[in-house]
Amino acid sequence: MSLEGIKHYPVMLNEVINYLSDQKNIIDCTFGGGGYSKKILEKFPNSKVTGIDRDKRVIKIAEKLNKKFPKRFRFQNIKFSEINSIKDFQNNDYFILDLGVSNFQLRDSERSFSFNSDKKLDMGMGLNLRNAYDLINQGSMEYLKNIFKFFGEEKFSSKIAKKIVNLREKENIVNSQDLSNIINNIKFKKGKTNPSTKSFQALRMIVNEEISEIFKVLKYIIENCKVNAVIIVVSFHSLEDKLVKKIFNFYGKNLPVSRYIPTVNKYINTPIKILTKKPIVASKNEIKENPSSRSAKLRVIKKINNSNKDLKRADLNMERYFNLEENYV
């Protein structure tokens, strides 16, 4: 499928750009349609950008940008959890992550992210070891229920899981059209949102191991980037944002040992400073132009010193999610 002709809106572009400056090295960890990278290269003529994306279908967009800015732009088709493979990682001043799937991916029926695709279930963004077809047709009833419940916050998780397991006994569930019909027969449509939205989000997150990807990349960047580097993250749903916020709070605040013993200075010796006390959200105008930006949240931190604060998964109190993602099917 060609990416030409698909309208692409880089979310909160101006808000992201406002945190950047010229003569810096920047890693755009989620290159996508190249919206951020292109704007940065145009606006800051002495900047250098490294684009990363797991999706090989964006390589063509990256090649175009590379032709226009041969000395200032390069691209790597890797998962952002592999950011340690960037050789001059330490020389970078800004790291940008615009999480989730792109409009290109959502609209590409081959990938089956959309509800009406008749192509075999997949939902991989790229470089995947899993796919939604195996997950739906091999996952135990308990496993499917739990991922719909916890990753999709889906109230009908049990009913949906039971129906899927019953139906697949006769024949495999092949495409997202069939899957969304099954879900839509269980749930009534309220408002404009498709009743399958939450379940599809859950499947996508498991197939792409999104929770572990975010954990690994933020841990690596924060613990290894140079002092004064700035990290900018845009998230799109509550689970993503909750994880990002918890990670930032772990490094950015000295939380009290006990609620009876107040911490004297919350910020002393923390490796980062949180620059957005509350997340920034899209403007009314942007939401009007691009309604999907309404759920976006922008959080920014700055590395302020090298400390040996070492984040462990257990510090985040989200083991249930990591375990579900890890113990696939």
Q: Which residues bind ligand SAM (CB under 6 A)?
A: 10, 30, 32-36, 52-55, 58, 79-81, 98, 100, 102, 125-126, 213
Minimum distance from residue 102 beta carbon to ligand SAM (Å):
4
In the complex with ligand SAM, which residue's Cβ is closer, 54 or 145?
Answer: 54
Q: Shortest Cβ distance from residue 225 to ligand SAM (Å)? A: 17
User: Closer to ligand SAM at the Cβ: 10 or 195?
Assistant: 10
The CA-atom distances, in angstroms, between 309 and each of 60, 143, 318 are 40, 34, 19
Count of alpha carbons within 13 angstroms of residue 309, beta-carbon side: 25
Of 100 and 252, which CB lies nearer to ligand SAM in the complex structure? 100
The half-sphere exposure of 153 on its side-chain side, counting CA atoms within 13 A, is 4
Beta bridge partners of 258: 261
Rg (CA), the chain: 21
State the nearest-atom distance from the C-beta of 273 to ligand SAM, in Å.
Answer: 24
Q: Which is nearer to ligand SAM, 127 or 304 (CB)?
A: 127
Chain position carrying tokens 């990807």:
213
Which residue has tokens 């993602």? 325
| Closer residue to ligand SAM, CB minimum distance, 30 or 176 | 30
Which C-beta is closer to ligand SAM: that of 24 or that of 54?
Answer: 54
Q: Give the shortest CB-308-to-ligand SAM separation in angstroms.
A: 26
Query: For residues 251 and 101, what is the distance between their CA atoms, to the nearest angstrom?
Result: 27
Distance (Å) of CA 225 to CA 163, 204, 221, 276 = 48, 30, 5, 19
- Under 8 Å CB-to-CB from 155, ≥6 apart: which residues? none
Question: How many DSSP H helices and E strands does the chain contain?
Answer: 14, 8
Q: How far is the CB of 319 from ligand SAM (least distance, A)?
A: 20
In angstroms, give the least distance from the CB of 151 to ligand SAM.
Answer: 15
**Three-class DSSP category at 130:** coil
Minimum Å distance from CB 76 to ligand SAM? 9
**Closer by beta carbon to ligand SAM, 126 or else 279:** 126
Contact call for residues 325 and 212 (beta carbons, < 8 A):
yes
